[in-house]
Structure 1
Amino acid sequence: MKCKWGGEMKNLWLGKVAGHITVKIEGKGLERLINKLIREKVRIWNVKRHNEELITFQMFIKDVTYLREAVHYHRVKVRFIKKAGLPFYIKRMKKNTGFFIGAVIAMAMILILSNMIWDIQIKGASPEVEYKINNQLKQLGVKKGNLQFLIDDPLTLQRKLSRMNEDITWIGVELKGTTYHFQVVEKEQPEEQEKQGPQHIIAKKEAVIVDYFVEKGQPVISVHDFVKPGQLLVSGIIGKEDEPEYVSAKGEILGKTWYDTKVEVQLQNEFELLTGKEMKKTGIKIGDYSIPIWGLKKEQYKKEQIESDETYLKFFKWSLPIAFVKTTIREVETHEKTYTEKEAEKLALSIAKKDLVKSIPKDAQIVGEKVLHQKVENGKLKLLISYDVVENIAKAVPIHPKEKKKEKTNIPN
């Protein structure tokens, strides 16, 4: 026997969670009792007749008062054989409060300890550099006892440490469990030059001699001379013809060399700029679901740049599918810039010069530039530029001990 009223009970499951009981009734006139409950709009379900004088059903705990009133008018026995729902669950939990609180505290402690920094190891650094990096790490929050998810990710730490240390070629950052590992590669200091044997100085590229400074050896060139690659500049054989002396020729030979550079510039450019406006959000990511915690503003930018940093919680050595997510949303504006041919030429010359500076020796000097070819094609300005550069063209080559005084002025590489 089943009872329905008012169509389907849309929120039946909510009522069950709020608390419901299974009722067992014995006696005569059970149908009249059930009908009275229905007239009082008491919701009952799973009504089952077991025999002529025994019936069971389920009802909400909030309606027990109506049941007690109905029982006064009928000769029946009522027993509650099963209780379910949140109120009864909480009541049972209260009996085990100590155990429950202890379990929660233990889990919380394990999570905290698993996500704490327990050790920091720095390898490959000298004692001075290691001491310096340790102090920098403390400034960045990387120290024993701090929580990992409150600190920058390893890649960000690597970038910051690289900017802070010019005497370091490279620094690697790796997080293994609860230990941060830092691998440092310091810049090599110039080694003391070994004592060199007898040698000549020759030209390493085509040039016009501008100036020279000879420390040892016999110069065989003059200012304004044009030299080719491999040509002798300073001889390492000095002294009398019948008693030659072999020395290690040393000196700096400054020659004017030439570099040709091609460069292209778009006459119409589109570029993006940050406006300075930004929003920061913090949330928890559980699996594929995100729960916002901080920064709940729903302001939208027309164009934006999003940067996210995820730090996963750990349980001992395992990573849990739970992460703290820090998100930065920056407003971006798109701008268009149209250059005249003259403006584009100026920009192209600037770009070409910067590129050239990167490719020539640090002590070289650019002394002249000349545009060899210029044209506009497919919305681009194309330039071919020649640069005059003064640089040291000296190259040392060894002398064979048996070499005679009469040297050729062009020695092969």
Structure 2
Amino acid sequence: MKESRFDSVLTIEINILEPEKVLNIISKEGIFIKNVKRLNIALLSLDVYEEDYKDIKKIVKANRGKIKIVKERGRNILIRRLKRRSSLLVGSVLFGLIIFILSTHIWSIDIKTTENLSPYEVREILSKLGVKQGMKKNALDVYSLEKKLEDSSSEIVWARSRIEGSTLKIDIEEKVNPPKLLEKEVDSVIATMDGEVKRIYTESGTAVVEPGNMVKKGDILIEPYNGSEGTKYECIASGKVMANTFYDKEVDIRISGKELKRTGESFKEKYITFFGRRIYLKKYTNSFKEYDKIEDNTGLIKGVEYFEKELKEVKLERDEEVLKASKKLEKLLLKDLTNEAKVVGKDIDVTDLGYGMIRVKVQFVVLQDIAL
């Protein structure tokens, strides 16, 4: 038995009902132990060589005991710790180096235009100028780029470019063409949509519809003249025509059976892109059988968040869910309407789709101004 084996010594604790039995077995196996201490009736403390630990662990487990390492010492253990720390240090340095290299490149291009010129057209111009994702920052002169953009299209009045982080931001100001003059200054007020006329407020001109009339989109509501037969004169027609208009919205709802729902558990993986390849900082292990996922492609560090889903029993009150669906559809409708518009009526129709599913269809009657 070489004394150099003490370079790797472990202090272990063994929790077992028959400590003497285990010590006898260890001795019979020829395993060297020292500093044996009895901490209580079922707990032993002793020092062993690291290379003998696995054999002792098998003996303890075979006799239904528990074992744990409370202390490690020795030259070999110190060397391993230093190797682990050096690996961590090298990994940190490499990661920092990769981040630094990535930070010297442009990885996204953010383009803002106004009306006539689309971001896609500007991106095509940039591509022809050699400006693209992945290029080095120091290879780009933003002031020269602004001049080239202004010269590349007659639609661009001026351009501003700047680099923020790893994003190249381009702001384009376009040429504003003067509005076309109307062929004639006067015109009629027409209906913007189908509806049933309820009230008419004429500021100028003559109304040609009455409350109760059904009108179609494009029908004339107010003509551009004032006065009576023989004394008519042209004017600019204006006014409001309040009418009942109609909107249909529907939604499918499960009221019984089973449905995939989120459990509340989630996992977010993070990665960076390096020349078109993903380098993961945190990788999803695909532990969810069913899931939703939301991708975040903004910024240098991108990510995908996974939300676990599982089949859950659904048992809901039909009438209550129909009422909830009606209110939800009404809220969605009001978001698309003006503040003056009001829902004055609704007709709810429910269709049984089978397998615990129903379809709630609501026709809304909306009072609003349809004059244009």
* Fold shared by both chains (TM-score > 0.5): no
TM-score between both structures, scaled by the size of structure 1: 0.40
TM-score between both structures, scaled by the size of structure 2: 0.43
Of structures 1 and 2, the larger Rg is shown by 1
Q: Which has the higher contact order (CA 8 A, sep 6+)?
A: 1
